[in-house]
Amino acid sequence: MSDAVPRTSASKGRKVADKREAILGAALELFVSRGFHGTAVPQIAKQAGVGAGTIYRYFESKEALVNALYREWKSRLATHLLAEFVPTGDARVQFLAMWRRMADFVEQFPTGYAFIELVHHADYLDEESGAVAERYLQLAIAYIATKQMQGEFRPGAPELLWSLVEGAFMGLARFAREGRLELTPETVDAAGESAWEIVRPPQP
């Protein structure tokens, strides 16, 4: 008798988690393919296999849903990049390793990465999402500034260097998504070497 309640609670918990994940998965696909404003809640519900009212049990609005999705994928990206990050060692080797990790994320989660870039500057992102984005931006800027102080990256505004590196990667990811090129190890490494030239310290 005492075991029945935990099993029932666990079963209900799994169903709740499954429904929430189904909603998030459907929203991700539709937001990327149709855009935020071009996607209606009933469309998300239909693709998720739930009733439209069910969505509002988990998210109070479409805006709340897109913000939850953004924070989840932004966190996934950061976790993926930092999972094997080694803060010491040769700067070029370290930079190229991080570049490959970014490319690996795009290959594993192309829709997730496309979503992050699609909504990054959207006006419907709330204060919490903005804070998440700012936190990860400051990590990147602090990393560049540290490498500059150590003489391992070229001097200049860290924000400028990061904007150029990030822009180069976004272009690479977009061309891969459009089928203009394939993210082979050779392509990724060639792009990474070019990006390294953005931050490489001037040679004497």
Question: What is the full DSSP assignment across 61-118?
Answer: SHHHHHHHHHHHHHHHHHHHHHTT--SSS-HHHHHHHHHHHHHHHHHH-HHHHHHHHH
**pLDDT one-digit tens code per residue, 119-170:** 988 999 999 999 999 999 999 999 999 999 999 999 999 999 999 999 999 9
Q: Does 69 have pLDDT greater than 90?
A: yes
Instruction: Say what the pTM is.
Output: 0.86
How far apart CA 111 and CA 147 sit, in angstroms, is 32
* Phi, psi (deg, nearest 5) at residue 81: -70, -35
Average pLDDT of the chain to the nearest whole number: 90
Domains of the chain, earliest start first: 1-59 (1.10.10.60), 62-204 (1.10.357.10)
